[in-house]
């Protein structure tokens, strides 16, 4: 896991920002991450934004993302052509370059030979975009169409053996296009190319740091909250813990933290969270055991989307009850992150589809009685961790694996009940214990067990068994937007499986999930 990344202010729009028009690429979020790594705030927006709406946001630069569609197909995503005449620097990537070429009068055709994977581009003219780089660059291609003729005013600045226009530039109007993907790691000099665009072409200042984020956000929180009190729900996970530490730094005892035990927590979670807040953070924690209420609400529910919405709504109702007991604070703080927002809904109607509703984004009731505060809403997980470190949150809490808001409810596939939760809790605890024992925990982004809604035949003590199946999931990732399955060593997997089967009553089979994201998600529900 990368422990160093640029942090950007998000409590209110920063003075300097780059807007990324989303045309549906699986790499759109990666573009946002790479721009932020250069110290410049970035935000993903819909391709349907009008030129006037986009200009009103005063971006320092605009990036057109890639996308799976063909610009030659009817109904393919497009954008307001006036965007290209705003005088704002624009970089088009893959589909974004092809769309740019089409809108400006160039020609785009289905390529006689598609390019997928590694390629080498020959730089014909470096200009600002390729300044300081070599004459030949390794890049990552993924396209079926190609620009066959650049629009008037553009120069072809790079090509490959099969692509006559691998890059193009209208330096006068600061409009650039790349057929390849600079945002992926398979383009080794991609970050330098993006940096050249941001600083040499667009004139960005950059320089956003953890310190500036914390200082700016604290100032904005104090201004918005004033003398009022804030109710903050915390689960003990990374996001809500960092949120609580940030709010406590900003408003001190005006903060009322509430830890709701929804019965969907990991083994010993309630005990450990209460101890950490008391001993490590010095923050008073109001503890509520609402296990029975949550399990009643989830009885008979199989749909993961319904689970998430029920849990979100139940959380709010419990909070409302606690709010009344605590004097009705008008504000509710949530640890919503940018991946939660992206996965819960397409940014303003973009072509990206809803993957799943996060309980603290799409699961909230429409008649919410609180004013929401979400200062982490546009941060990725690794950025939140760096904020946590700067705030003095203990490392064991900052670098804890992510845990979903709905908890074990979305790791018990199908209907949730106490017996299933107890089985899963024990299996999950063994998994995590063994990862620590094999010194693997800190090398993995996220690891957990899943209770499958199937049973399998087994043999234990010469007797036939028909018992539950546990799936193990462990992934490596940087920000949770993409992930690959972790190649755990065979001795570790053997030890984990043996312990789960021998120690967890009701389990006779363990399987290991070897799917990546995409096409799968990290969580099963």
Q: Which residues are part of the catalytic machinery?
A: 94, 181, 183
Alpha-carbon gap, residue 248 to 242, rounded angstroms: 10
Pairing of strands 42-46, 507-512: unpaired
Query: CA 207 to CA 210: how far, in whole Å?
Result: 10
Q: Give the residue among 210, 213, 200 at the shortest CA–CA distance from 61.
A: 200
Q: Quick one: angle between helices 304-325 and 291-298, nearest 10? A: 150
Dihedral (CA of 135, 140, 144, 145) sign: negative
User: How many CA atoms lie within 13 Å of 232's alpha carbon, on the beta-carbon side?
Assistant: 31
Bridge partners (DSSP) of residue 466 are 457
Beta strand 230-233 with 331-333 is parallel
Residues contacting residue 517 through CB under 8 Å, at least 6 positions apart: 475, 477, 481, 482, 483, 484
Name the pairing type of β-strands 155-159 and 167-170.
Answer: antiparallel
Backbone angles phi, psi at 384, to 5 degrees: -65, -40
Cβ pair 397, 276 in contact under 8 A: yes
The strand pairing partners of 332, in sequence order, are 231, 372
């Amino acid at each position: 896991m990368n422990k160093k990344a640029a942090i950007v202010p998000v409590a209110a729009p920063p003075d300097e920002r780059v807007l990324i028009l989303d045309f549906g690429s699986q790499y759109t979020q990666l573009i946002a991450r790479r721009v932020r790594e250069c110290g410049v705030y970035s935000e993903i927006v819909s391709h349907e934004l009008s030129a006037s709406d986009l200009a009103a946001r005063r971006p320092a630069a605009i990036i057109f993302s890639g996308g799976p569609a063909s610009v030659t197909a009817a109904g393919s995503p497009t954008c307001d052509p006036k965007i290209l005449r705003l005088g704002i620097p624009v970089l088009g990537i893959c589909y974004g370059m092809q769309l740019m070429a089409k809108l400006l009068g160039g020609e785009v055709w289905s390529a006689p030979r598609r390019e997928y994977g590694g390629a080498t581009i020959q730089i014909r003219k470096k200009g600002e975009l390729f300044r300081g780089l070599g004459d030949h660059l390794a890049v990552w291609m993924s396209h079926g169409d190609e620009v066959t003729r650049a629009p008037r005013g553009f120069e072809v600045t790079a090509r490959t053996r099969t692509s006559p226009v691998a890059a193009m530039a209208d330096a006068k109007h600061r409009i650039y296009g790349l057929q390849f993907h600079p945002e992926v790691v398979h383009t080794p000099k991609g970050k330098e190319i993006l940096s050249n665009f941001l600083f040499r072409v667009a004139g960005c200042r950059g320089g956003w740091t953890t310190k500036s984020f914390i200082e700016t956000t604290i100032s904005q929180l104090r201004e918005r909250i004033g003398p009022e009190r804030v109710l903050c729900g915390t689960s003990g996970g990374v996001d809500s813990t960092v949120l609580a530490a940030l709010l406590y730094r900003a408003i001190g005892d005006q903060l009322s933290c509430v830890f709701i035990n929804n019965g969907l927590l990991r083994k010993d979670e309630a005990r450990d969270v209460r101890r950490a807040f008391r001993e490590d953070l010095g923050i008073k924690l109001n503890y509520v055991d609402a296990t029975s209420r949550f399990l009643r609400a989830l009885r008979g529910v199989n749909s993961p989307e319904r689970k998430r919405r029920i849990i979100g709504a139940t959380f709010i109702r419990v909070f409302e009850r606690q709010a009344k007991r605590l004097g009705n604070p008008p504000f509710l703080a949530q640890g919503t992150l940018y991946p939660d927002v992206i996965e819960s809904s397409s940014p303003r109607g973009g072509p990206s589809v809803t993957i799943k509703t996060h309980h603290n984004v799409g699961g909230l009731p429409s008649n919410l009685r609180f004013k929401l505060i979400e200062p982490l809403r546009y941060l990725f997980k690794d950025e939140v961790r760096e904020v946590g470190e700067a705030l003095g949150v203990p490392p064991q809490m900052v670098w804890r694996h992510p845990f979903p808001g709905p908890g074990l409810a979305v790791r018990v596939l199908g209907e949730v009940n106490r017996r299933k939760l107890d089985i899963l809790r024990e299996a999950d605890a063994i998994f995590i214990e063994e990862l620590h024992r094999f010194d693997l925990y800190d090398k993995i982004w996220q690891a957990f067990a899943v209770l499958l809604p199937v049973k399998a035949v087994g043999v234990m003590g010469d007797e036939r068994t028909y018992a539950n199946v546990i799936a193990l999931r462990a992934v490596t990732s940087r920000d949770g937007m993409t992930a690959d399955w972790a190649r755990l060593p065979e001795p570790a997997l053997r030890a984990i499986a043996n312990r789960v089967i021998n120690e967890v009553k009701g389990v006779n089979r363990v399987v290991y999930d070897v799917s990546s994201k995409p096409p799968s998600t990290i969580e099963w529900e």
